[in-house]
Amino acid sequence: MSFWGVDRVQRSRIANFATCLGDVPSANAQLVICNELFDALPFSRLVMRGDELHELWVTERDGELDWSEHEAEAKYADYFAGRGIELHDGQFADISLDWESTYEEICRFVTRGLIVTFDYGYPGKQLFSGRPRHFGTAAAYSGHQVSRDLLSRPGEQDLTAHINFSDLQCAGERNGFTTLFFDRQAKFLLALGATEHELFRPLDELPADDPLLLREQREEARRLVLPDGIGEDIRVLVQGKGVAVEGWSFQRKLF
């Protein structure tokens, strides 16, 4: 068994590292974990004006970055039409046409095994629901601060948008995968027994050379599963090919 990290830039100390899946050796079975991969892909910001779809471009006015609207290319209208999604007048939407193609690339890599995707997003109908997400989902992150001002501090913020999990699920099923799980991260981790980890034990039962660091690690672990943390915000999609469709611990009923 070997472990590989795949990214355009090596960000960890994993011994086996590749910049693309094609450089990873083949195996009899694979487990691919995609952690916030898809919401990091480039996305387009769109808005419906009457019955015309417009794309927002970045321009410069008086030395400052600003938005300008242009008629959107047909591929964006085709995206929504193909999924039976109708945007309301004045509604914004943020999409990446790379969500589906990137997931299909992963599907082609996995001959037998699991693809586990952790990311911010919803199924398509929910993602583009007019009232709750009338202004889209695009946001800018710097440290632990979030902002809707995407154009401020260029180069100093990470820009991201929630993903359409329906794109991934459908792409997988077209490539012979079965959906084994789709729900909140908290439910996934709790079903796997995350609270059995030592970080969930009482502090006085844990040896600590650095008590402050231990408290920080415990807080980070709790955020993964608590309703008011990222355990509620992140969704997990598990699809499998050539494996059992039932009996996995993450499918366990909690209540």
Structural contact between residues 118 and 165, judged by C-beta atoms closer than 8 angstroms: no
How many domains does one find in the chain? 1
For residue 60, being part of any structural domain is answered with no
For residue 206, being part of any structural domain is answered with yes
Instruction: Give residue 208's domain range.
Output: 184-234+247-255
For residue 255, being part of any structural domain is answered with yes
If we measure between CA atoms, which residue out of 224, 102, 99, 237 comes closest to residue 163? 99
pLDDT at residue 123, rounded to an integer: 96
The proportion of the chain whose per-residue pLDDT surpasses 90, expressed as a percent, equals: 64
pLDDT at residue 38, rounded to an integer: 96
pLDDT at residue 14, rounded to an integer: 62
Quote the CA–CA distance of 115 and 106 in Å, as a whole number.
8
For residue 229, being part of any structural domain is answered with yes
- pLDDT < 50 regions, the chain: none
Torsion 55-58-60-66 (CA) sign: positive
For residue 252, being part of any structural domain is answered with yes
For residue 202, being part of any structural domain is answered with yes
pLDDT tens column, 238-254: 999 999 999 999 998 87
Q: What is the CA radius of gyration of the chain?
A: 21
For residue 194, being part of any structural domain is answered with yes
CA–chain centroid gap for 180, Å, is: 17
For residue 141, being part of any structural domain is answered with no
